[in-house]
Structure 1
Amino acid sequence: MSQPSPAFLTHGPAFLITLDGASILTQEGTLLALSLTEARDLWARVPSPVVINGAATARRLGLRAALPPHPWRDVLELFLFVHPTTSIAPTLKGVCDALDIPLEAGFDARILLSITARLEAQLARLLQAPGRREIGGLLQVLHRHHWPWRHDLQHLLGDVAPSTVEDTLPLKIWRRLPKWEDEAPPPPAGARPVSRDAALGRLADIIGEGAETRPAQRDFTSVACEAFQPREAPGMPGLVLAEAGTGTGKTAGYLAPASVWAEKNGGTVWVSTYTRHLQKQIERELHALFPDRVTRRRKIVIRKGRENYLCLLNYEDSVNVFAARPDRSAAPMGILLALVARWASMTEDGDLIGGDLPGWFFDFYDRATLLSMADRRGECIYSACPHYQSCFVEHSIRRAKSAEIVVANHALVMSQSAWALHDEETLPDEDQPPTHYVFDEGHHLPDAADSAFSVALSGLEASELRRWLLGAEGGRSRARGLRRRLEDLIAQDASLERHIVQVIAAAQALPSPGWLDRLQSEPQAPIEAAEATELSLEVNPSEAFLQALHQQLRARTQLHPRHDQLECDLQPVDPRLDLLAPRLRAALCALKKPLEGLVGAFMAQLSDPDDILEAPQRIRLEAAARALKRRAIFRLDAWIDLLTAIAPEKAPSDDDRFIDVIRSEAISHRRFSGTRYDIGIHRHWRDPTIPYATVMQASAHGILVTSATLRDQPGMTEICEHDISGGDPSRQDISLAGRAARPSDAEASWRAAEHMMGASHFLKPAMRAAMMSPYDYRNQTRAYIVTDVSHREIAQLAAAFEALFTASRGGALGLFTAINRLRSVYKYLAPRLEALRLPLYAQHVDQMDNATLVDIFRTEIDSCLLGTDAMRDGIDIKGNALRLVVFEKTPWPRPDILHRERRRHAVETGLDDYDDRLTRMRIRQGFGRLIRSSADKGVFVTLDRQFPSRLLSAFPEGVVVERLGLRDVTARVSAFLAEGTD
């Protein structure tokens, strides 16, 4: 094996953009310190410089980021090839931390060559280890398709991979992936209870020796045991609502009894949380309990929806398309496929989105192409797929059946619940319902249930169903229609052809390709009632119906040129809409009938005692029937019910279970034709926890719902306002008295929590418990309301953010209620903070996913981040990296129709301060980002000078809130954060 080239290790060119300007190492080895303007002029004249995050470097220089193959050598791409499943912040510090390279003061562009030298040495070792021929083959693919690193690495290959190898052979990873094998089904789980002592002993194992003793954590663990006691009667699971303040250590607290129960009873506990990022955090907590990787992989499984995983059949399609292209035009695809193949050969679970594929990978390459490699349209053909036994999803499903802990997310659990609610027959399923659940971040359950149990009869949904049934109808799409997906079953039973022909004919009633352009270009003249019948006969019935929806919406709303969403009540129904609904309903019924015929034929084969089916064929029939029901029939049932409810004489109170809204939503933006809008009827449950509770009671034995914000905060409503300003009304100190909660306050807060979490719909009353946070908020935090800034004036708002972020010297999170205001503030703020050497990142501005932005923010401890509610609820950052949270305004609920009706429902059930409760809980979530350990310090600021005093009970006991002008607040922020620092 040849040694690394000395020239590669010691010479440039290299470009490193810093907060002070640019550090450039020339080809001749000269080190230059230039301004960004000077660096931009030099950039175009330097051949293939070494950079870190080339796209971000180009943007910092005011240049447009190039598409791959890039005209630069990006160390992130090299890192990805060498360490394909190691997720890092895509910054210099992130790479240096991962490679254990000290990042000392006064670094310059030469550090990029130190990084490349380290990576090249690591790659050289890989090329001497088992699997070297596969790695070498991928390097040959990269070389032929002009990967910028190809010349630097070619000397390492030697005879590892001959250059004459078939171009796509190294990309065919499905030939090398392990295959799962069937195992005997697990026996039913036992019902042995979990004792307090056993759970506390397991807790000690998880947190390890010498860990900080937290009495609240021990109390929480004891309470969590109640969710793992035997069920007393059918339909009456044990339900525990446990609020655990920030710092309680609730994750380890519930994993302790959950793991004990699973071990004692040979069963599986499903732990569900809100985001994919939080799933990984929970899985990491279990490393201490199962330090051995093989054991951990057997006992712990992360489950997500199929749309998150790499689909090997779609990936193979991409490889075939790539192979058919001329060499040069295939270069970007060749590089992308080679890097995906490198990752897929090393990944733990094949999770493209939120798994071990670095999130920033999507920002480097064509996002649409990457996403097309997942099954995002529900086109899986299960056992008919040639890669079925290598499938990442099937691997995870089978591992989950025998695992002790399955870490899922609310979206998947609620989707399974929605399917169970619709499916009256017992259809064999990949996802048999577990008996024990833990819902972490439980305050998000209502939203997850609302999403899963709602129905949308919209142009986009209907056209997607047509595409699923008919496949690609022209264009460049590779979508597989129903005939192609079922061709193996049709070949075995020719009688199925009749149903397929009927489905294809009936699906023509759904919106055809180009429907969105036709809808957007419709004239503004209204459709007369007398013309509606004629229109329904001339135009596709679903498209005619969408036009009528569009007309009712325009008539009842005030259009705005920059709106992202418009809505109006469905009732009272426009007469023209009422005339068009019956024909569409008939068309949907005609489509549903042959689909049910297909399912009936499949079920008949499964139940025929004379037809002995082999296991693969049985699996195929079950999967086909399940897909038809879930993807098409259930949806058509819901649409038909919705259309049946349209009647001019129908009063809104006739069925108060549902809220029906006509809604237009922005779904895409084109540079020249502008924003494009979907339109449809959206049906939501007035109380979405009703169907969730119905399903859970049927199968679950124990449920634990936990969060730091299950309840609205009780006992903090006595506010002492005393003037300390000598008459200056802009300076008032507001101290929260922190008295003990009155019984009536505590009971009201629990009743509200039970209403929000759906506990009131369970037959067995929930057990309630609350553990207070162990932190000293009086000394660890400060909170301010700025009284002299108008959040309506962007200039004032941006200037306030600049002053506050400067006072904290970074480590600041700005939270917004509107994306437009976030973008406007970012545009003002970015150059000013850059001049102060404070990096600024922003959701909805930077081309990175939220998890990557959070990783950068956590790594770059003096950076600043702007975001919306996803950042308010979904990040956990300990230490000095987050020391200031700024709310742009009070996070009131969005005043839409859905909120209006749910607030009315809450009032009817006795919760007359619905808006305030929701808002206080959001404030608590935002404030909770600040203090994640006993050593943290943090400041909370809101720029809403109209912040109501009645919302101050959202803050934890001991927090002192002051109303001050911006100048005084910035001075106090700076002084408080400087206390005790070097």
Structure 2
Amino acid sequence: MAFSPAQTSRLPLKPADERQQIEAAEITQFMGETGILSQRLPGYEYRVQQLQMAEAITESFNQSHHLLVEAGTGTGKSLAYLLPAVLWSVRNNRHVVISTNTINLQEQLIYKDIPLLRSMPGMEFDATVLKGRGNYLCPRRLTTIRRRRPTSVQELKTLAKILVWLLESNTGDKSEISLRGPVENTVWHRLSAEDEDCTLHRCQAAMQGACPFFKARKAAEAAHVLVVNHALLISDAMSGNSVLPDYQYLIVDEAHQLEEAVTNGLTFHLDQSALLRRIADLGGPNRGLLGEILLNVRGLIPDKELNRLEVFIQTIDEATTLMRSHVEAFFKQVLVFLKDVHNFRASDYTTFMRVVAAHREKSSFAQLQNLWTNLSEYFEVIGGAMLRLTIAFNKLREFNFPGYDDFIASTEMTARYLEEIRTHLHQFSVEPNPDMIYWLSMGNGQNELPTIHTAPLHIGPLVEEYLWHKKESVVLTSATLRTGDNFSYMAERLYADQVPAREVGSPFNYEESTLIYIPNDIPEPADKQGYQRAVERGIIELAAALNGRVLVLFTSYAQLRQTAQAIIPRLALGGITVYDQSDGTSRQALVDGFKSNEKSVLLGTRSFWEGVDIPGDTLSALVITRLPFAVPTDPVFAARSETYSDAFNDFAVPDAILRFRQGFGRLIRTRSDRGVVAIFDSRVVHKSYGMTFMESLPECTVKYGGLDGLAGAAADWLK
């Protein structure tokens, strides 16, 4: 049965008065050696690890306990948590939320695993996917931007593209339209149902059923199983369930990515153009939001009330007009400060600079603070006038003029968002919050100005407050939650020290299926030229011996590009195609090309270390070029490192081990797979921490030898 969202015509779930537990025998009935799945699903393999995981989650739900569970590759963990989730939800008429980090896993659940369970006898349930507000088109915003007219030809073209798409789409979901480049994505942002300007509770489009987000939200209220992503999960919990219906049972898959996903979701970004656009959207007596208000109320309210609104709007208009030059001066000084501290040079890459206490002693930063003092006065004037405007507006409900609810909600939301901007800029400039991280980024454009970023220093307290303390049962699962033989690192990062943890292993026999080959003569990465030559030579010889079928994982785009340029002409002589990220091709397109071309090599960086599933002979060898340590100068990583007394061993190494294990997991995807992992980083042998990386992997056949022996060893292993 194909997946379809829960129908909005269904009534919201009404929780049962008394909770009913799930018996372990019910799980066995489905997943046991002779269970329903074995009988009805061709090719289904009974896995004791899958059954153990499902039973552990069932017990957690029954007892209202939390759980960390690591399930190795091949466990079939998605079905292991979906089955108890569905049984529990249907029996108790309660929502169970499942959160993922990647679109690939979300689509697997929606289009494969959920329909599979639905096809089983007695498994009647509703499921839907709910995305963040920014993924849904807002009809009210669309009407507004059409009425105010696009400000550029590019914006007009994007708007036309979206309008044509809407003739065919009945979901208003961004994933159904291809938007590329900053202009198209900026236009979408202005059209989406983002929090700061969504008026769902009193929006006319929502009430009339035209709002895509409203329809998705109504479907969620009637669904037993809700599939969401990590960023939405925490942001919604922090906002008091403004998107998700109330729930108490949660399963977080890909939980090793929870901290990063939540960090990204809570990171604030602001550049000059975004701030000026916000100010321009306010408008004045004859334009923008404020102009529309006057246009709609004129002739419908008493002159006295109209004059009062006009005074407030005139104040805002004058302030925003004068404010523009102060915004430009402020961001120009941010650039001066960046160059003063960072010795900035134009390059092909985005530059990042964390702002720390020592930087704030610079005279260039003192000048920035002075400019902020001037700019902040305009924020205060506008904020005060917006507040008075809102109060005055609230008194006009009796006159029932067109769009009243939308206008008052828009003014409230705009005022709130401008106050959020003011708070972040004030903290950045004058009163830094010790629990926040501040940094600047700078692209390579000729007239580029910096972007200001802020992010929370710690995610653990948020997970503790909004998940561990508020939900009855939370299950975190992944193939990689442990570093070494314990869960201590992940438990420390996510404040899960008191949460029971379980490891159910993998059904794969890695000792028979996987050869790990470690060249003992490869130079260390610190010897850049020697190391790079060895990497290129190793890839060429391995790919030639196996006729392609090699995935190479890098930790930097720069090395990937350099390697691609060196090996492409050499491998082309043997008819081997190289797919790489250097030209901006999407990950999925590269993977599809690799799968369809038997004689090919795939070069990937960070996004390829996880979520890539290439079973069978298409992928026979995996090359890990370097241990995947985080970039030490990354602002978030650097700030969090400072919270440790031994940051390298207690933070950098465990963080890299989780990524290393994810990368290793790309090779063996089924019981019949067989392959070779080549590790081109001699630190696993020569450094004291190297053994920690090796011990984090399952028991494999390991061989040490010269780089020139790799190709032969791989060919022999795969015979």
Aligned residues of 1:888 and 1:944 also touching (Cα < 8 A): yes
Q: CA deviation at 1:929?
A: 1.0
Give the structure 1 partner of residue 259 of structure 2.
446
> Under a length normalisation based on structure 1, what TM-score does the superposition of the two structures give?
0.61
1:842 pairs with 2:580: yes
Task: Indicate how the Cα distance of structure 1 residues 318 and 208 shifts in structure 2: closer, same or farther if over 3 A, else same.
Answer: farther
Q: CA deviation at 1:712?
A: 0.4
Task: Indicate how the Cα distance of structure 1 residues 612 and 387 shifts in structure 2: closer, same or farther if over 3 A, else same.
Answer: closer
Match among 397, 403, 407 for residue 227 of structure 2:
407
For 2:547 and 2:326, locate their aligned partners in 1 and report how far apart those are by CA, in whole Å.
60
Give the structure 1 partner of residue 74 of structure 2.
247
Alignment of 1:293-308 (within 5 A): 299-308=126-135
Amino acid at match of 2:333: A
Give the structure 1 partner of residue 213 of structure 2.
393
Aligned residues of 2:517 and 2:702 also touching (Cα < 8 A): yes
Give the structure 1 partner of residue 20 of structure 2.
192
What is the total number of aligned residue pairs between the two structures? Answer: 678
1:620-668 CA deviation, whole Å, 9 max, x = no partner? 589647744764444433434444415xxxxxxxx6423333x2332x6
Amino acid at match of 2:222: S
Task: Indicate how the Cα distance of structure 1 residues 859 and 304 shifts in structure 2: closer, same or farther if over 3 A, else same.
Answer: farther
Unaligned runs of 5+ in 1: 1-85, 87-177, 232-237, 421-427, 474-479, 513-539, 647-654, 715-748
Q: CA deviation at 1:335?
A: 11
For 1:199 and 1:545, locate their aligned partners in 2 and report how far apart those are by CA, in whole Å.
62
Give the structure 2 partner of residue 961 of structure 1.
702
Q: CA deviation at 1:552?
A: 2.9
Q: CA deviation at 1:835?
A: 3.8
1:820 pairs with 2:558: yes
Task: Indicate how the Cα distance of structure 1 residues 182 and 889 shifts in structure 2: closer, same or farther if over 3 A, else same.
Answer: same
Q: CA deviation at 1:451?
A: 1.9
Alignment of 1:375-390 (within 5 A): 375=191, 378=194, 383-385=203-205, 389-390=209-210
Aligned residues of 1:449 and 1:692 also touching (Cα < 8 A): no
1:803 pairs with 2:520: no
For 1:923 and 1:571, locate their aligned partners in 2 and report how far apart those are by CA, in whole Å.
34
For 2:167 and 2:599, locate their aligned partners in 1 and report how far apart those are by CA, in whole Å.
34
Aligned residues of 1:883 and 1:939 also touching (Cα < 8 A): yes
Amino acid at match of 1:940: V
Residue 434 of structure 1 aligns to a residue in which SS? Answer: coil
1:352 pairs with 2:174: yes
1:880 pairs with 2:713: no
Aligned residues of 2:316 and 2:382 also touching (Cα < 8 A): yes
Match among 948, 951, 975 for residue 716 of structure 2:
975
Give the structure 2 partner of residue 270 of structure 1.
97
For 2:422 and 2:565, locate their aligned partners in 1 and report how far apart those are by CA, in whole Å.
46
Percent sequence identity over aligned pairs: 22
For 2:9 and 2:387, locate their aligned partners in 1 and report how far apart those are by CA, in whole Å.
30
Task: Indicate how the Cα distance of structure 1 residues 795 and 467 shifts in structure 2: closer, same or farther if over 3 A, else same.
Answer: farther
For 1:587 and 1:322, locate their aligned partners in 2 and report how far apart those are by CA, in whole Å.
27
Q: CA deviation at 1:569?
A: 2.9
1:573-625 CA deviation, whole Å, 9 max, x = no partner? 233233333333333333333444566678889xx9xx7999x9898589647
For 2:158 and 2:376, locate their aligned partners in 1 and report how far apart those are by CA, in whole Å.
44
1:224 pairs with 2:57: yes
Task: Indicate how the Cα distance of structure 1 residues 340 and 777 shifts in structure 2: closer, same or farther if over 3 A, else same.
Answer: same
Residue 289 of structure 1 aligns to a residue in which SS? Answer: helix
1:861-909 CA deviation, whole Å, 9 max, x = no partner? 543322211111222232222222212222111102432331232338x
Amino acid at match of 2:437: I
Match among 350, 355, 360 for residue 569 of structure 1:
355
Give the structure 2 partner of residue 209 of structure 1.
40
Q: CA deviation at 1:208?
A: 5.9
1:758 pairs with 2:565: no
Give the structure 2 partner of residue 150 of structure 1.
none
Residue 913 of structure 1 aligns to a residue in which SS? Answer: helix
Give the structure 1 partner of residue 423 of structure 2.
637
Give the structure 1 partner of residue 606 of structure 2.
869
Match among 360, 372, 375 for residue 584 of structure 1:
375
1:685 pairs with 2:462: no
Q: CA deviation at 1:815?
A: 1.5
Give the structure 2 partner of residue 151 of structure 1.
none
Give the structure 1 partner of residue 673 of structure 2.
936
Amino acid at match of 1:351: D
1:268-312 CA deviation, whole Å, 9 max, x = no partner? 1111111222210121211111249xx99x812112223334566
1:659 pairs with 2:444: no
For 1:702 and 1:498, locate their aligned partners in 2 and report how far apart those are by CA, in whole Å.
54
Aligned residues of 2:71 and 2:505 also touching (Cα < 8 A): yes
Aligned residues of 2:83 and 2:117 also touching (Cα < 8 A): no
Aligned residues of 1:192 and 1:230 also touching (Cα < 8 A): no
Amino acid at match of 1:706: T
Alignment of 1:32-43 (within 5 A): none
Alignment of 1:496-535 (within 5 A): 500-508=313-321, 512=324
For 2:208 and 2:545, locate their aligned partners in 1 and report how far apart those are by CA, in whole Å.
57
Amino acid at match of 1:436: Y
Aligned residues of 1:596 and 1:633 also touching (Cα < 8 A): no
Q: CA deviation at 1:371?
A: 7.5
For 1:197 and 1:351, locate their aligned partners in 2 and report how far apart those are by CA, in whole Å.
40
Task: Indicate how the Cα distance of structure 1 residues 853 and 188 shifts in structure 2: closer, same or farther if over 3 A, else same.
Answer: same
Residue 759 of structure 1 aligns to a residue in which SS? Answer: coil
Aligned residues of 2:129 and 2:228 also touching (Cα < 8 A): yes
Give the structure 2 partner of residue 11 of structure 1.
none
For 1:877 and 1:919, locate their aligned partners in 2 and report how far apart those are by CA, in whole Å.
23
Residue 699 of structure 2 aligns to a residue in which SS? Answer: coil
1:479-536 CA deviation, whole Å, 9 max, x = no partner? x9534786898678756665555444444466x5xxxxxxxxxxxxxxxxxxxxxxxx
Task: Indicate how the Cα distance of structure 1 residues 825 and 692 shifts in structure 2: closer, same or farther if over 3 A, else same.
Answer: same
Give the structure 1 partner of residue 508 of structure 2.
775
Amino acid at match of 1:243: E
Of structures 1 and 2, the one scoring higher in RCO (CA 8 A, sep 6+) is: 2
Task: Indicate how the Cα distance of structure 1 residues 309 and 688 shifts in structure 2: closer, same or farther if over 3 A, else same.
Answer: same
Give the structure 2 partner of residue 542 of structure 1.
327
Give the structure 2 partner of residue 537 of structure 1.
none
1:551 pairs with 2:373: no
Residue 390 of structure 1 aligns to a residue in which SS? Answer: coil
For 2:39 and 2:386, locate their aligned partners in 1 and report how far apart those are by CA, in whole Å.
56
For 2:380 and 2:9, locate their aligned partners in 1 and report how far apart those are by CA, in whole Å.
39
Aligned residues of 2:263 and 2:456 also touching (Cα < 8 A): yes
> Under a length normalisation based on structure 2, what TM-score does the superposition of the two structures give?
0.81
Amino acid at match of 2:22: V
Aligned residues of 1:189 and 1:265 also touching (Cα < 8 A): yes
- Greater Rg by CA: 1
The answer to which of 402-411 and 584-593 deviates more is 584-593
Unaligned runs of 5+ in 2: none
The answer to which of 438-447 and 869-878 deviates more is 869-878
For 1:507 and 1:226, locate their aligned partners in 2 and report how far apart those are by CA, in whole Å.
58
For 1:199 and 1:603, locate their aligned partners in 2 and report how far apart those are by CA, in whole Å.
56
